[in-house]
Amino acid sequence: MTLMPRQRGIPADRNEMKAPRNISLSPTAWAGLQALADALGYKSRSALLEAIGRQEIDLTQQSDDEKKES
């Protein structure tokens, strides 16, 4: 199976084009995003953030007791 190269101006995997965005994160958070992306099977931090923004991933907040355990 031959993969076609991505073409500029054509969405790669969704029905709309992505636009560059800027975020500021600590090195720890940046590494943590990569670890989450890897653990959840996403090919990049960007793909993980896209899924979070599209509400394809359920997020839950840890209680104070859960935070102390980790």
Total domain count, the chain:
1
Tell me the chain's radius of gyration from C-alpha atoms: 16
In a domain, 68, yes or no: no
The DSSP H or E segment spanning 68 is helix 64-69
The whole-angstrom separation of Cα 33 and Cα 45 is 6
Q: Give tens-digit pLDDT for 16-54.
A: 887 889 999 999 999 999 999 999 999 999 999 999 999
Going by pLDDT thresholds of 50, 70 and 90, the confidence category of residue 63 is confident
Q: Give me the pLDDT at residue 35, please.
A: 97
Helix, strand, coil content of the chain in percent (nearest 5)? 40, 0, 60
3-state secondary structure of 27: helix
pLDDT at 4 over 90: no
- Supply the range of the domain harboring residue 30: 26-52
Residue 34 lies in a domain: yes
Residue 42 lies in a domain: yes
Of 21, 23, 24, 43, nearest in space to 34 by CA:
43
User: Considering the domain boundaries, does residue 6 fall inside one?
Assistant: no
Residue 14 lies in a domain: no
